[in-house]
Structure 1
Amino acid sequence: MTIRIRAHHLLCMLTYAGKGYSGAFTANYDKIVERLGGGEDLILVAGPDDICAPLLADKDEHCFGQSVVERDESAARAVETLLGRPVRPGERFSLNADWIAKMRHAFHAGETRQACIGCEWHDLCTAIADEGYQNTRLVIGPQAPHP
Structure 2
Amino acid sequence: MYKLRGHHLFCLLGYRGMGYSQEYVENMTGLHQTLRNNPKTLILLVKGPDQLCEKFPNSGEYHCQDDRIDERDAVILEKMNLKIGQILSWEEIESHIRKHVIPADIQVVCETCSWRSYGVCEEGIREIHNGRGLRKVE
Which TM-score band (shorter chain)?
0.7 to 0.9
Structure 1: any 5+ residue segments left out of the alignment?
81-86
Match of 2:130 in 1: none
Answering whether residue 7 of structure 2 is matched by residue 12 of structure 1, we say: no
Asked if the contact 2:13/2:121 (under 8 Å) is kept, the reply is no
Q: 2:80 aligns to what SS in structure 1?
A: helix
Match of 1:95 in 2: 90
Match of 1:22 in 2: 21
AA of the residue aligned to 1:119: C
Measure the CA separation in 1 of the matches of 2:9 and 2:77: 9
AA of the residue aligned to 2:14: T
TM-score (norm 1): 0.72
Q: In the TM superposition, what is the alpha-carbon distance from 1:20 to its structure 2 partner? A: 1.0
AA of the residue aligned to 1:129: E
Q: 1:8 aligns to what SS in structure 2?
A: helix
Asked if the contact 1:43/1:92 (under 8 Å) is kept, the reply is yes
Measure the CA separation in 2 of the matches of 1:75 and 1:90: 15
Q: 2:51 aligns to what SS in structure 1?
A: coil
Number of residues paired by the alignment?
130
Match of 2:119 in 1: 125
Measure the CA separation in 2 of the matches of 1:11 and 1:30: 14
Alignment deviations for residues 91-110 of structure 1 (CA, whole Å, 9 cap, x no partner)? 011122x85377269342x1
Asked if the contact 2:14/2:121 (under 8 Å) is kept, the reply is no
TM-score (norm 2): 0.76
Where is the helix percentage greater, Structure 1 or Structure 2? 2
Q: 1:93 aligns to what SS in structure 2?
A: strand
Measure the CA separation in 1 of the matches of 2:120 and 2:134: 16
Structure 2: any 5+ residue segments left out of the alignment?
128-132
Percent sequence identity is 24
User: What is the CA RMSD across the aligned residues, in angstroms?
Assistant: 3.0
Match of 2:47 in 1: 46
Cα gap change, 1:124/1:35 in structure 2, threshold over 3 Å: closer, same or farther? same
